[in-house]
């Protein structure tokens, strides 16, 4: 399962010749800028900074860097994650394939050498291998959110989870058991895990007449909406949210709207708020 056809692809010289280009045509395409020579025997038609850097180093895009490119939630994309074949020894600069990789440049990379479960392309690893890498590279809550996001986007199906779990060391398999794909965003996964930890009854993506669909309905009395800047900017959206809250209050529901930053970095604040409202409702 590789990324879709809109993702940037990397070709070898043999690939280009098999596709109908002759050696002179390849040279002319590179000279005219229609074809990018990224590294020896590696060419791209469409530019992508992350893929180019990974190929220049000597590998392919992997782990959270690939998943972020595909729109999957990941917590930290500060380092570029690259998978390398174990036989690869001459690593190059991500900016210039004619220079060796410097220590300073290496510090901005996360290099993966572990064997893969699927055959990779020249540009990136298989999505399932990227997920297995991301589960090992992130804290548990972040890893669950990444897996939920991949399931929600249709990049992995529920029946694939057992096979994915088998690729992981035993200590990481709990992540797979905690994922269910019901969350539509990273903050929603963090909220779901918090509610699970508190032992509260909850349902996700519940439709309430007169209010609309809500992220969580907890103990049949508390609505929780996980707000993030990306989906709740603009006065029009805020006004609609307030209208929904008033409609919910008229029916006896309380509404809590923790921000993504609260769920990521201040979960205790959210936990205290949820418990306070539940106690009050009881």
Q: What is the pLDDT of residue 259?
A: 93
Q: Which stretches of the chain drop beneath a pLDDT of 50?
A: none
Q: Are residues 38 and 139 in the same domain?
A: yes
Q: What is the pLDDT of residue 64?
A: 97
Q: Which residue has the tokens 């180093």?
A: 57
pLDDT tens column, 69-101: 999 999 987 899 999 999 898 899 999 999 999
What CA–CA distance (Å, rounded) separates 84 from 24? 31
Q: Of the residues 128, 152, 178, which one is the last residue of a structural domain?
A: 178
Q: What is the pLDDT of residue 229?
A: 61
The encoded tokens of residue 72 equal 């999957």
CB 111 within 8 Å of CB 86: no
The encoded tokens of residue 89 equal 């020894």
What CA–CA distance (Å, rounded) separates 135 from 205? 25
Q: Are residues 196 and 96 in the same domain?
A: no
Query: What is the domain range of residue 26?
Result: 13-178
Q: Are residues 173 and 251 in the same domain?
A: no
Q: Are residues 33 and 165 in the same domain?
A: yes
Q: What is the pLDDT of residue 281?
A: 78
What CA–CA distance (Å, rounded) separates 194 from 198? 6
Total number of domains in the chain: 2
Q: What is the pLDDT of residue 282?
A: 73
Phi, psi of 139 (to 5 degrees): -60, 160
Residue 5 lies in a domain: no
Q: Residue 149 to residues 84, 130, 197, 242: CA-CA distances in angstroms?
A: 26, 13, 20, 27
Contacts for 254 with CB less than 8 Å, ≥ 6 apart: 221, 222, 223, 248, 277, 280, 281
Q: Are residues 130 and 253 in the same domain?
A: no
The encoded tokens of residue 84 equal 């390398």
Residue 3 lies in a domain: no
Q: What is the pLDDT of residue 231?
A: 53
Q: What is the pLDDT of residue 210?
A: 93
Mean pLDDT, the chain, as a whole number? 92
């Amino acid at each position: 399962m590789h990324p879709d056809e809109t993702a940037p692809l990397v070709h070898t010289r043999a690939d280009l010749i098999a596709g109908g280009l002759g050696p002179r045509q390849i040279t002319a395409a590179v000279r005219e800028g229609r074809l990018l020579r990224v590294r020896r025997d590696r060419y791209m038609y469409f530019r992508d900074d992350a893929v180019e850097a990974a190929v220049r180093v000597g590998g392919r895009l992997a782990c959270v860097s690939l998943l972020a490119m595909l729109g999957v939630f990941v917590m930290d994309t500060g380092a570029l994650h690259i998978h390398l074949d174990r036989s690869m020894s001459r690593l190059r600069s991500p900016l210039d394939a004619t220079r060796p990789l410097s220590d300073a440049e290496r510090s901005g990379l996360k290099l993966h050498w572990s064997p893969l479960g699927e055959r990779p392309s020249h540009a990136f690893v298989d999505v399932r291998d990227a997920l297995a890498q991301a589960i090992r590279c992130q804290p548990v809550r972040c890893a669950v959110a990444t897996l939920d996001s991949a399931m929600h986007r249709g990049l992995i199906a529920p029946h694939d989870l057992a096979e994915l779990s088998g690729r992981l060391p035993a200590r990481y398999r709990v992540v797979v058991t905690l994922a269910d794909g019901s969350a539509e965003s990273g903050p929603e996964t963090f909220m779901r895990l918090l509610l699970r930890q508190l032992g509260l009854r909850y349902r996700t993506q519940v439709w309430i007449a007169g209010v609309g669909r809500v992220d969580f309905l907890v103990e049949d009395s508390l609505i929780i909406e996980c707000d993030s800047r990306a989906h709740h900017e603009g006065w029009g959206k805020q006004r609609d949210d307030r209208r929904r809250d008033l409609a919910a209050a008229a029916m006896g529901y309380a509404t809590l709207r923790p921000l993504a930053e609260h769920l990521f970095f201040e979960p205790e604040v959210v936990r205290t708020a949820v418990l306070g409202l539940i106690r009050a409702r009881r």
